């Protein structure tokens, strides 16, 4: 897509995709001056495009995405949806995101009807400072971030995140907003075990793939704790897994990301 559109100014505008033909949507983003599109943007917009082809009784339960190449933040993104399966309980969609140089993201999302069965939480939220007791991390990406400083914890990151603006009650919008937030800290934690971690000018970095599982209802416009562990680096790749809790301690989602961390030569 070589056409230019006005830059969006908030998250709801970012998620308001234009349908240009059946199962094809055009999305635009902000111009932060980063050059590349923030990965959470294309994941959130791809999930939103998939959701636009699904009936209201379904909710997203997982997504798995591959970042194919870096996107240009000054250009819109075309999202083409393939209806892989429509079942009674589950619906599957594949989304490919394109810019003028080709595909930049390939995402598959699964949606499920709400089922009333056992609900057992086996993990507990760590004891951490409340978000009100922490300073904001300077950020301009439509989100509010308050990081918990950890000492001697190795490849481990904790932080409270929420959207800057209030969101509608629509569970699909809330899920897309969490997908947007989920890309904020994962890369840094995944590459923390690297000997050059922190000296980012000496590393070529990029998100390679990303996954989110949605477990329980939540609000992305209220504080969510992202508790993320790095699992080492090998073959120029680092891996991180995270659990997401609401402020009452409910485990609402899980995330995973693999990141490229190649030493510049």
State both tokens at 71.
Answer: 């996107």
For strands 203-214 and 77-86, give the pairing. Answer: unpaired
Q: Which of 207, 221, 227, 246 is catalytic?
A: 207
Start-end of CATH 3.10.129.10 domains in the chain: 1-115, 130-265
**pLDDT for res 199:** 77
- Catalytic residue at 257? yes
Residue 160: pLDDT above 90? yes
Confidence of residue 165 (pLDDT cuts 50, 70, 90): very high
- Catalytic residue at 174? no
- pLDDT, the chain, mean: 92
Q: Which of 99, 183, 185, 246 is catalytic?
A: 183
Average of per-residue pLDDT across 201-205: 85
Q: Cα 121 from chain centroid?
A: 23
In 87-223, at which residue ranges do the beta strands (DSSP E only) sit?
Answer: 90-99, 102-113, 143-148, 156-163, 203-214
In 150-223, at which residue ranges do the beta strands (DSSP E only) sit?
Answer: 156-163, 203-214
Prediction pTM value: 0.94
**pLDDT for res 31:** 84
The Cα-based distances of 159 to 183, 198, 215, 228, 245 in angstroms read 12, 18, 19, 9, 11
Residue 72: pLDDT above 70? yes
Tell me how far apart the terminal alpha carbons of the chain are, to the nearest angstrom. Answer: 33
Fold of 130-265: Thiol Ester Dehydrase; Chain A (3.10.129)
d(CA 23, CA 82): 7
Q: Which of 110, 144, 174, 257 is catalytic?
A: 257
Q: What is the CATH superfamily name and number for domain 1-115?
A: Hotdog Thioesterase (3.10.129.10)
The per-residue pLDDT for range 88-134, each reduced to its tens digit, is: 999 999 999 999 989 999 999 999 999 999 999 999 999 999 999 99
């Amino acid at each position: 897509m070589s056409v230019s559109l006005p830059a969006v100014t908030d998250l709801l505008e970012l998620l308001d995709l234009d349908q240009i033909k059946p199962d094809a949507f055009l999305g635009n983003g902000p111009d932060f001056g980063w050059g590349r599109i923030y990965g959470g943007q294309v994941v959130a917009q791809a999930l939103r495009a998939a959701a636009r082809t699904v009936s209201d009784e379904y909710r997203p339960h997982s997504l798995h995405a591959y970042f194919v190449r870096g996107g240009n933040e000054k250009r819109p993104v075309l999202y083409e949806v393939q209806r892989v399966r429509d079942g009674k309980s589950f619906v599957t969609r594949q989304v490919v995101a394109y810019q003028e140089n080709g595909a930049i993201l390939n995402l598959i999302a699964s949606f499920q009807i709400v089922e009333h069965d056992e609900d057992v939480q086996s993990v507990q939220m760590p004891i951490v400072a409340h978000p009100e007791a922490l300073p904001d991390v300077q950020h301009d990406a439509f989100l509010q971030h308050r990081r918990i400083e950890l000492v001697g914890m190795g490849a481990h990151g904790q932080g409270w995140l929420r959207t800057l603006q209030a969101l509608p009650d629509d569970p699909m919008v809330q899920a897309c907003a969490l997908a947007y937030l989920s890309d904020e800290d994962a890369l840094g934690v995944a590459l923390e075990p690297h000997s050059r971690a922190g000296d980012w000018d000496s590393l070529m970095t990029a998100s390679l793939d990303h996954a989110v599982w949605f477990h329980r209802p939540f609000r992305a416009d209220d504080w969510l704790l992202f508790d993320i562990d790095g699992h080492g680096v090998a073959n120029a790749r680092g891996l991180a897994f995270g659990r997401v809790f609401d402020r009452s301690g409910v485990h609402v989602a899980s995330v995973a990301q693999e990141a490229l961390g190649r030493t510049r030569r």
